[in-house]
Amino acid sequence: MKTFSPENLSLKDKSILVTGGTGSFGKHFIKKLIEDYKPARVIIYSRDELKQFEMQQQFQGENAKCLRYFIGDVRDRDRLTLAMNDVDYVVHAAALKQVPAAEYNPMECIRTNVDGAENVVRAAMDNKVDKVIALSTDKAANPINLYGASKLASDKIFVAANNISSHSRFAVVRYGNVVGSRGSVIPFFQKMIAGGATTLPITDDRMTRFWITLEQGVNFVLSSLEIMVGGEVFVPKIPSMKMTDLASAMAPNLEQKIVGIRPGEKLHEIMVTSDDGRNTIELDDRYIIEPAFAFWKQHSKGNYDGAKRTDPDFSFASNNNPEWLDENGLKEFLHATGIKLVA
């Protein structure tokens, strides 16, 4: 299983701000920072005071003395600008992520995911932040729901920001479903199995999904922060699994009931479209979508050691993936996140 660990990243005595820092990714990312990198300051920027209070109880001791808790919303540019004072790096993880909620509350989704992205960019440029890396999603490629469309718009904002910034550099990481995260199907299946369910619901027996662990996601962001020059969309090479195989691995004795695909849901997720494939290079552990802007070629950027260009018709989707999870692979993934199969 790939680790995506950075090789030479140094964050010692640096100041890092994490938007959405009290979420699943944020907490794991910050834990990694304070244990392994000895930063001068880590600013947790989020809007939920209760989650910040709970996080303060969780993170204590000598390592946690660098943590700063900053109440604020990415919709508030002035507050962001204040929070980014004297910050070296920003990791933008704040977003409205629930697909049904976004469909029902479209303007709220846009204000956070799109307007919030612009606010992060402007605040970073105002403070001359060195590097900003934004978290995206496989749903942003060929989106069919508002959440995916809003994250595609966010990706475009961060990539294009490199056109107008004289100092700050911006890049994006895009990856798939996080094993065991809130809203993941794995905890949902576990709850059903533990509750004595006789069947597991499957939306479509052809459905496939990408999978990544939280630890891999954190390392992928850190390693992308290390190598980015500004303008890239980084995509990890991670495995796929059929949802029917997932259900069979978790509960081999339970029947599977096809319940129909939900609104805004795809049969297969995609992370590099065939149109983006023309501008994609690959390393051993990731694909890099290069920006189609003059600044990229003009400054001879993107000369990654060992990178090769993908075929012109290349695409990376969960159904054409060369790497697949079987039952043993799933168990390895779950073990890495402390999840045990209950069946």
- Asked if residue 314 belongs to a domain, the reply is yes
- Asked if residue 129 belongs to a domain, the reply is yes
- Asked if residue 46 belongs to a domain, the reply is yes
* 243, 207 Cβ separation under 8 angstroms: yes
Q: Which of 139, 151, 237, 242 is catalytic?
A: 139
pLDDT tens readout for residues 203-241 = 999 999 999 999 999 999 999 999 999 999 999 999 999
Q: How many domains does the chain have?
A: 1
Q: What is the CATH number of the domain that holds 106?
A: 3.40.50.720
- Asked if residue 278 belongs to a domain, the reply is yes
Identify the CA nearest to 67 among candidates 15, 28, 19: 15
CA 209, CA 85: separation in Å to the nearest integer? Answer: 40
Please report, for residues 130, 167, 289, the alpha-carbon distance to residue 228 in angstroms, rounded to integers and kept in the order given: 11, 14, 12
- Model pTM above 0.85: yes
- pLDDT reported for residue 340: 67
Q: Which residue range forms the structural domain that includes residue 230?
A: 15-176+211-238+271-318
Sign of torsion over alpha carbons 112, 118, 119, 123: positive
- Asked if residue 137 belongs to a domain, the reply is yes
Low-confidence residues of the chain: pLDDT under 70? 180, 182-183, 298-303, 339-343
What would you report as the CA-atom Rg of the chain, rounded to the nearest whole angstrom? 20
- Asked if residue 334 belongs to a domain, the reply is no
- Asked if residue 191 belongs to a domain, the reply is no
Give me 181's structure tokens. Answer: 């995260």
DSSP-derived 3-state class of residue 15: strand
- Asked if residue 100 belongs to a domain, the reply is yes
- pLDDT reported for residue 241: 94
- pLDDT reported for residue 182: 67
CA 27, CA 139: separation in Å to the nearest integer? Answer: 23
Kindly compute the dihedral angle of the four CA atoms of residues 80, 91, 180, 4, in this order, to the nearest 10 degrees.
180
- pLDDT reported for residue 312: 87
- pLDDT reported for residue 186: 84
Check if 139 is active-site.
yes
Give me 137's structure tokens. Answer: 């999603």
- pLDDT reported for residue 95: 96
